[in-house]
Structure 1
Amino acid sequence: MIDNAVDQVLERANLSDKLKRMFRKCMLNTITTTLVQKKDDSAFLFTGDIPAMWLRDSGGQLRVFLNLDDPSGKLYDVIGAVIRQQFRYILLDPYTNAFNFAGNGNCWSAIDKSERQNPWSWERKYELDSLCFPVELAYFYWKQTGRVDLFDGDFLAAVKELIRVFRVEQHHEEQSEYFFIRDNGIEQDSLPNDGRGIKVGYTGMIWSAFRPSDDACEYGYLLPANMFAVVILGYLEEIMTAFYPEETDLLGTITDVKKEVQAGIVEFGIVEHPKYGKIYAYEVDGLGNSNIMDDTGVPSLLSLPYIKYCDTDDAIYQNTRRFSLSKDNRYYFEGTAAKGLGSPHTPPEYVWHMGLAIQGLTSTDEEECQELLRLFETTDAGTDLTHEGFLADDPTIYTREWFSWSNSIFCEFVLKEIGKLKL
Structure 2
Amino acid sequence: MNRRVFAKQTALGSMGLALTPQFTLSQTTYKDFVSKRPPKKERLFTSKAIEEVIKKVKKQLKDPELAWLFENCFPNTLDTTVFYKEEIGRPLSHIITGDINAMWLRDSTCQVWPYVPFANKDEKLRKMIVGLINWQADCVLVDPYANAFKKDKSEVSQWKDDLTDMKDELHERKWEINSLLFVIRLAYKYWKTTGDTAPFDANWENAMKLIYQTLLEQQRFDNLGPYTFMRETTQANEVIANNGYGRPTRKIGMIHATHRQDDACVFPFYVPDNLMAVVELKHLAEMFKTILNNTTYAERCLKMADQIDSAIKEYAIIEHKVFGKMYAFEVDGFGSQLLLEESTIPNLMSLPYIDACDINDPVYQNTRKWLLSEWNPKFVKGKFTEGIGSTHYFEPPKRIWPLSTISRALTTDDKEEIMFCVEQIKRSNAGTGFIHESYLPDHPEDFTRPWFSWVNTYFGEMILILLEKYPKLLS
Is the structural similarity TM-score above 0.5? Answer: yes
| Structure 1 residue aligned with 2:84 | 37
Residues in 2 aligned to 1:173 and 1:389: alpha-carbon distance in whole angstroms:
41
Question: Residues 81 and 420 from structure 1, CA distance in 2 versus in 1: closer, same or farther, beyond 3 angstroms?
Answer: farther
- Of 41, 58, 65, 2:115 maps to 65
Residues in 2 aligned to 1:38 and 1:333: alpha-carbon distance in whole angstroms:
43
| Structure 2 residue aligned with 1:376 | 425
| Structure 2 residue aligned with 1:226 | 274
Residues in 2 aligned to 1:8 and 1:83: alpha-carbon distance in whole angstroms:
28
| Structure 1 residue aligned with 2:151 | 101
Instruction: Please list, as runs of the form range in 1=range in 2, the aligned pairs for 1:250-269 lying within 5 A after superposition.
Output: 250-269=297-316
| Structure 2 residue aligned with 1:144 | 193
**2:158 is equivalent to residue 111 of structure 1:** no
| Structure 1 runs, 4 residues or longer, greater than 6 Å off | none
**2:341 is equivalent to residue 298 of structure 1:** no
Residues in 2 aligned to 1:60 and 1:232: alpha-carbon distance in whole angstroms:
15
| Deviation of the 1:194 alpha carbon | 1.3
**2:171 is equivalent to residue 122 of structure 1:** yes
- Of 172, 181, 186, 2:235 maps to 186
TM-score, structure 1 normalization: 0.95
Q: Secondary structure at the match of 1:87?
A: helix
Q: What CA deviation, in whole Å up to 9, does each residue of 1:168-205 have, x standing for no partner?
A: 10017814121111111111112122111111111100
**2:331 is equivalent to residue 284 of structure 1:** yes
8 Å Cα contact 2:160/2:166 also seen in 1? no
Residues in 2 aligned to 1:253 and 1:330: alpha-carbon distance in whole angstroms:
38
Q: Secondary structure at the match of 2:445?
A: strand
Aligned AA (1:277): G
**2:265 is equivalent to residue 217 of structure 1:** yes
8 Å Cα contact 1:173/1:200 also seen in 2? no
| Structure 2 residue aligned with 1:76 | 126
- Of 193, 216, 237, 2:285 maps to 237
**2:93 is equivalent to residue 46 of structure 1:** no
Q: What CA deviation, in whole Å up to 9, does each residue of 1:17-72 have, x standing for no partner?
A: 11111111112211010000134221100011101000000011111112336523
8 Å Cα contact 2:329/2:348 also seen in 1? yes
Residues in 1 aligned to 2:302 and 2:158: alpha-carbon distance in whole angstroms:
36
**2:182 is equivalent to residue 133 of structure 1:** yes
| Deviation of the 1:360 alpha carbon | 0.4
**2:189 is equivalent to residue 162 of structure 1:** no
Q: What CA deviation, in whole Å up to 9, does each residue of 1:338-397 have, x standing for no partner?
A: 211110112442000101100001111000111111112211111111111100131111
Unpaired runs of at least 5, structure 2:
1-46, 471-475
**2:160 is equivalent to residue 91 of structure 1:** no
**2:245 is equivalent to residue 196 of structure 1:** yes
Aligned AA (2:76): N
Matched residues, percent identical? 34
Q: Secondary structure at the match of 2:74?
A: helix
Residues in 1 aligned to 2:222 and 2:248: alpha-carbon distance in whole angstroms:
7
Larger Rg: 2
Q: Secondary structure at the match of 1:180?
A: coil
| Structure 1 residue aligned with 2:412 | 363
Q: Secondary structure at the match of 1:396?
A: strand
Aligned AA (2:199): L
Q: Secondary structure at the match of 1:279?
A: strand
Aligned AA (1:229): A
8 Å Cα contact 2:285/2:297 also seen in 1? no
| Deviation of the 1:105 alpha carbon | 5.4
Q: What CA deviation, in whole Å up to 9, does each residue of 1:144-166 have, x standing for no partner?
A: 12222111111110010000011
| Deviation of the 1:111 alpha carbon | 3.1
C-alpha RMSD of matched pairs (Å):
1.5
Residues in 1 aligned to 2:310 and 2:335: alpha-carbon distance in whole angstroms:
16
Residues in 2 aligned to 1:236 and 1:61: alpha-carbon distance in whole angstroms:
21
Q: Secondary structure at the match of 1:36?
A: strand
Unpaired runs of at least 5, structure 1:
none
**2:451 is equivalent to residue 398 of structure 1:** no
| Deviation of the 1:420 alpha carbon | 6.6
Residues in 1 aligned to 2:310 and 2:460: alpha-carbon distance in whole angstroms:
35
- My pick for the range that moved more, 141-150 or 306-315, is 141-150
